[in-house]
Amino acid sequence: MTLLDTTTEPTADRQRTYEVRTFGCQMNVHDSERLSGSLEAAGYRRADDGVEADVVVINTCAVRENADNKLYGTLGHLAAAKREHDGMQIAVGGCLAQKDKSVILDKAPWVDVVFGTHNMGSLPTLLERARHNGDAQLEILEALEVFPSTLPTRRESAASGWVSISVGCNNTCTFCIVPSLRGKERDRRPGDILSEIGLLVDDGAIEVTLLGQNVNSYGVEFGDRLAFGKLLRAAGAIEGLERIRFTSPHPAAFTDDVIDAMAETPAVMPQLHMPLQSGSDRILKAMRRSYRSERFLGILDRVRAKMPHAAISTDIIVGFPGETDEDFEETMRVVEQARFGSAFTFQYSIRPGTPAATLPDQLPKAVVQERYERLIALQERISHEENQKLIGTAVEVLVAPAEGRRDAETSRLSGRAEDGRLVHFELTPGSVEPRPGDIASVVVSRAAPFYLIADSANGAPIPVRRTRAGDAWDRDQAESCAVPAHAPAAGGGVSLGLPSLRDGIPLRPGL
């Protein structure tokens, strides 16, 4: 059924097209898949690359720096496009919409729909109402209407899927806008999560990433403090699911049963992304993050004791209000000790509406910049050293679609190793070319700070394992060309119950 009445519109004789532009974190990318799925369920079609869509949806983020500038800059460009494009609609959703509400319509009255983080499923109805009434629609709910994962999805990857296990957050980090925009933590029932994972696997996925603002407090809503570890184990028992990742855990809520579940569940990948934010206990306190650096490092020790090859990454904020040179040196000390494989580093900037925004002692930009550069240099050195330790080791790479200049110039393919590291590998003569979603077994030959190279030492063909995800990719290609799909390889036989699939391997920066 379609919610669209296209008979009176300029595009009446064809299906209306959409484009979703995503600003922000992985949570937002996942929400955008839901928005795309809702639109397709309502009869819209994704606009072809380079062709202006009839409906442009901007899924905003209020967490990252310059979110406002980015949104209003984009809306300015779209205003001009809309003047030339009869029947075009613009919708703004996500965190910034939840925060700014009607301000968006005041500043950009050419916007047709503003919706919040709790009512993503209403987008097609709001677009239809705006067209019918000829009037902008604003709908922001203060509580979650439908759990986002129960909305239709248009997945961006055949091999990989994201599954929300919770939304919202019960913490009150002083720099963070999430609790006021996404509300208190709401946990999905384990049965719902597992059946969604099962559907993804039936659909060809071999990798899932479990998403939540604070995954290891999962279960707090239904009174089971050990629920996250149990969930990992239960997901690990799903046949056909080869790689489980999750993001992000909070150090304060990280318990040893989760480490045991990670180590004892083969499908859980040796990877942990755990935000540090600061190495200074004084700053952690000011951030209202209830762990201290010693606890953080203790978790890393226990993870590495059980999973020596785990790649650990983190998020760090530099220049929080009141951060002294000594505080920053503490961060440098902890980073040196933690030996992160990689880190997402941010310069603190004021987020209106957060407690930290009104703290005294906001630091001068030059001070923050200098510390930031020192931290980046340190982390880059450590990342490089950690990657160099992998030279000569065998890694299993989940192949991503060939894209980007690097691959074109070198004829290498790319993908993620089990620990999440990016690997570029040479396809030696005689090798069976892997499809995106297949697994290639290669040996690391070189290391850079941000990726590994696996070029063959002897030119022998590389072993490739064909997977159901590769079969799904084949069928997706065939569908998009409107030719019959190949029969699946042995062991395939999957059904595509969900909307058509596209490629891309997720890499998650956390909060």
Binding residues for [4Fe-4S] cluster, as ranges, are: 25, 61, 95, 169, 173, 176
SS (H, E, C) 285-343: HHCCCCCCHHHHHHHHHHHHHHCCCCEEEEEEEECCCCCCHHHHHHHHHHHHHHCCCEE
Residue whose structure tokens are 């604070």: 214
Binding mask 242-261 for ligand SF4 (x = CB under 6 A): --------x-----------
Which is closer to ligand SF4, CB of 37 or CB of 321?
321
- Kindly tell me which residue out of 209, 213, 247, 383 binds ligand SF4, with binding defined by CB under 6 A: 213
Question: Please, what is the minimum distance in Å from the beta carbon of residue 340 to ligand SF4?
Answer: 18
Segment 148-207, which members bind ligand SF4 (CB under 6 A)?
Answer: 169, 171, 173, 176, 178-179
Please state, in angstroms and rounded to a whole number, the distance separating the CA atoms of residues 414 and 451: 10
Our finding on whether 25 is near ligand SF4 (CB under 6 A) is no
Which is closer to ligand SF4, CB of 30 or CB of 250?
250
- Residue 260: HSE in the Cβ half-sphere, 13 Å Cα cutoff: 6
Please state, in angstroms and rounded to a whole number, the distance separating the CA atoms of residues 140 and 137: 10
Question: Please, what is the minimum distance in Å from the beta carbon of residue 316 to ligand SF4?
Answer: 12
In contact, 426 and 455? CB cutoff 8 Å: yes
Please state, in angstroms and rounded to a whole number, the distance separating the CA atoms of residues 19 and 53: 6
Which is closer to ligand SF4, CB of 87 or CB of 355?
355
CA dihedral sign of residues 228, 231, 233, 239: negative
Which is closer to ligand SF4, CB of 181 or CB of 261?
181
Q: Token pair for residue 414?
A: 């790319």
Which is closer to ligand SF4, CB of 59 or CB of 247?
247
Question: Please, what is the minimum distance in Å from the beta carbon of residue 130 to ligand SF4?
Answer: 32
Question: Please, what is the minimum distance in Å from the beta carbon of residue 99 to ligand SF4?
Answer: 14
Question: Please, what is the minimum distance in Å from the beta carbon of residue 185 to ligand SF4?
Answer: 9
Please state, in angstroms and rounded to a whole number, the distance separating the CA atoms of residues 294 and 333: 12
Which is closer to ligand SF4, CB of 137 or CB of 213?
213
Q: Token pair for residue 81?
A: 């496009």
Give how far Cα 26 sits from Cα of 22, 41, 164, Å.
Answer: 10, 23, 11
**What string of DSSP letters covers 104-125?**
HHHH-TT--EEE-SS-GGGHHH
Which is closer to ligand SF4, CB of 91 or CB of 215?
215
Q: Token pair for residue 103?
A: 């301000």
Question: Please, what is the minimum distance in Å from the beta carbon of residue 355 to ligand SF4?
Answer: 11
Segment 431-470, which members bind ligand SF4 (CB under 6 A)?
Answer: none
Give how far Cα 3 sits from Cα of 38, 44, 145, 152, Å.
Answer: 11, 10, 19, 15
Our finding on whether 286 is near ligand SF4 (CB under 6 A) is no
In contact, 250 and 220? CB cutoff 8 Å: no
Is residue 5 classed as helix, strand or coil in its secondary structure? coil
From first CA to last CA, the distance across the chain in angstroms is: 38
Q: Token pair for residue 197?
A: 């994972």
Our finding on whether 214 is near ligand SF4 (CB under 6 A) is yes
429: number of Cβ within 10 Å: 9
Q: Token pair for residue 201?
A: 């696997």
- Kindly tell me which residue out of 181, 206, 447, 511 binds ligand SF4, with binding defined by CB under 6 A: 511
Which is closer to ligand SF4, CB of 99 or CB of 154?
99
Question: Please, what is the minimum distance in Å from the beta carbon of residue 315 to ligand SF4?
Answer: 9
Beta-carbon contacts of residue 210 (< 8 Å; ≥ 6 apart): 162, 163, 165, 193, 231, 232, 235, 244, 245, 246, 247
Which is closer to ligand SF4, CB of 59 or CB of 89?
59
Question: Please, what is the minimum distance in Å from the beta carbon of residue 213 to ligand SF4?
Answer: 4
Question: Please, what is the minimum distance in Å from the beta carbon of residue 116 to ligand SF4?
Answer: 17
How many positions of this chain bind ligand SF4 (CB under 6 A)? 10
Which is closer to ligand SF4, CB of 131 or CB of 289?
289
Question: Please, what is the minimum distance in Å from the beta carbon of residue 396 to ligand SF4?
Answer: 31
In the complex, which residues of this chain contact ligand SF4 (CB under 6 A)?
169, 171, 173, 176, 178-179, 213-214, 250, 511
